[in-house]
Amino acid sequence: MRIFGEISIPGDKSIAHRAIILASICAGESKIKNVPDSKDVLTTINLIRKCGINIQEKSNYFSIQGGPFSNPDTILDCKNSGTSMRLLAGLLSYKKIPCTLIGDKSLSSRPMERVVDPLIKMGNKIDCINNHAPIKLESFSNQSLGEYQIPIPSAQVKSCLILASLGCSKKTKIIEKIKTRDHLELMINAIDDSILYSDGLEIVIDPNKDKKLDGFEIDIPGDVSSASYLIAAAIMLNKSELIISNLLLNPYRIGFIDTLIEMGADIEVESEEVRFNERVGRIVVRGGKELSPIEITGDKIPYMIDEIPILSLICAHINGKSVISGLEELRYKESDRLEGICHIITDMGGSARIVGKDEIHIEGENKLYNTTKLNNFNDHRLAMMISIAQILSRDAVSYPECIDISFPKFKYLMNQVLEA
């Protein structure tokens, strides 16, 4: 069995959310190509439509006509999408649209004070019981935060505050502890570099009331987080050669690839270009190399937070002890992913344990079995981790519906390149 062939991955989910939201506040038409059909992104599209924005799906792009927002239904359902909820909290504060943001049971258990607290400090009246959804946006002042340091590394919080700060009359400086994915900043600068300035850990937003952002065109590069599962299968199966074209290579998103190379994986960037301020390229992944265990510290986690489940599976399949720390944020995803990772690996006959509140120790082995009845905790990333475990164990492969949250084409693309 091997992975062999060339594929392109559907557009990056993080960029898609931000491009759709940004297009809604730009003057004129924006055209967005390679929009992924993940449930999370479709949720954002539907919510923006409910706010009065004209979004049409064409043959190979989405057309978004920026314009005035109208008051939506009293309640906007973000379903399972934390990105939708957090970014819309900032967008609707900027546009002064009163409404209530709700979500499903999973989303309602995730912390929201990280966006609500700074929005309240801007003079907005927002009700959020026990720091969880629903978030009730009631009235708006949109005073500048002045200088605000984000207490935890979070691109969602940063994007929320950038959007909200566009409605302020004075400058806002946002300071990060650790640099996180910067897709919204890159997009804004590609349209107009006079509104936002970024220098390392500091982002300054200086809205110009007399100047509007113009509509734009973007071809979204392939989602590197989705690609990670196919990359993992390729490096773990002998005689594999997988080529992925049009792949996002943003330096704050490729921690997983960098880590695999450090472990000894054969991954080569064949070509690279810059499109709409994002680095995009073609990579070649070859299997058969012996990998070494790894120790990863918390400062690297923001660059591979979504890939920790599949990285943990790789560590469980190679001889030696791997240690990954700084993982507390995994407890607040669609499930407690830290606990989920440990359950999956131990139920396969491997060794994984949590040390303290945010560290996982994995004792790797060459062979793991018992993959047919693993619990995915209804979490799309844990479900895809299990699918790859089943491939590596030569078991029947399951593709549960929850995968559609982020990667509906996962089964299709895997079948394209998996050779028995």
Alpha-carbon span 138 to 127, nearest angstrom: 8
Strand order across the 99-102 sheet: 75-77, 99-102, 135-139, 125-128
Which of 306, 358, 379, 404 is labelled catalytic? 306
| Neighbouring residues of 20: CB distance < 8 A, sequence distance ≥ 6 | 32, 35, 41, 44, 45, 48, 55, 62, 64
Closest by Cα among 187, 165, 183 to 23: 187
Tokens describing residue 348: 């396969």
The Cβ of residue 339 has, within 10 Å, a number of other Cβ atoms equal to: 14
Alpha-carbon span 3 to 238, nearest angstrom: 9
Strands (E), 325-399: 351-355, 359-364
Strand-pairing partners, residue 64, are 30, 55
Strand-pairing partners, residue 5, are 242
306 counts as catalytic = yes
Positions marked catalytic:
306
